[in-house]
Amino acid sequence: MHLAIAHTDPAALIARCETTGVRIAGSEPEYEPGAVLPAGPWQPLTADLAARLMPSAQTADDTLVELVKLPDGPVPASLAALADPLGDPDAVHLGQAASPAKALTTTPNYQDGRRIGLHVDNWDRLDYESKHTGRRRLCFNLGPGTRYLLLADLDIRTICRTLYADPASRYPHTDDLRAYVAGRQPLRAFRIRLAPGEGYIAPTELLPHDGSTEDQPEPSTAVFWLGHWPRGILPAVV
């Protein structure tokens, strides 16, 4: 499966999205060995690439990326309650994470604080056959700074099919992404700018991803939920 980003205005997507290749982290002490990072320099998204990111009629809601903004109306009593009216009574509030300014990627491991680079989530503990059915992550940028969503253009099931003759018995993992990139297989990264109050709903169990504050002079905080949400449940920004 290729990356699919819901949008009705290609020019609006192009205005906030850039692309580059990827690389394996070198002797960078802030990163885990083998971490997959954007290679840079970032290039503008072309009209042809924007067209290729358009979902097809076969794109399932669970595999779609949506760029969204906070809904209009009364502010909920707590951040945790913000997702309550969005259609999944079992949605889980994961909390929030503060990111420093000018960070190429933002997610640390919680053993020693080194950053992990592009990765796939594993909250749902899904095997290869069901990895595409996982919950999507809802994220909003609480500011004060702008941040980016980083996404790879291939999902982890496609990556596993390239690496293994029989991927069906596997539980796809970030290590598979790292092996794929270390083997010099083709992969493209995209970064999508999110101002305070903007966010995304994305299949982070399926798509390699991370946050970024690269080139941004202010820190920002992101808040997260997991759930099964139908497409279009929040107002779109593109």
The average pLDDT across 170-192 equals 97
Instruction: Report the distance separating Cα 86 and Cα 154, nearest Å.
Output: 28
**pLDDT, tens digit, for every residue of 153-163?**
999 999 999 99
Q: Which pLDDT band holds residue 238 (cuts at 50, 70, 90)?
A: very high
Burial of residue 120, with CB atoms counted within 10 A of its CB: 0-12 exposed, 13-18 middle, 19 or more buried: buried
**pLDDT, tens digit, for every residue of 26-79?**
989 999 999 999 999 999 999 999 999 999 989 999 999 999 998 876 667 677
Q: Are strands 209-212 and 188-194 parallel, antiparallel or unpaired?
A: unpaired
pLDDT score of 201 more than 70: yes
pLDDT at 8: 96
pLDDT at 85: 87
pTM of the model: 0.96
Orientation angle between helical segments 174-182 and 156-163, nearest 10 degrees: 60
CATH 3.30.1050 fits 10-227, yes or no: no
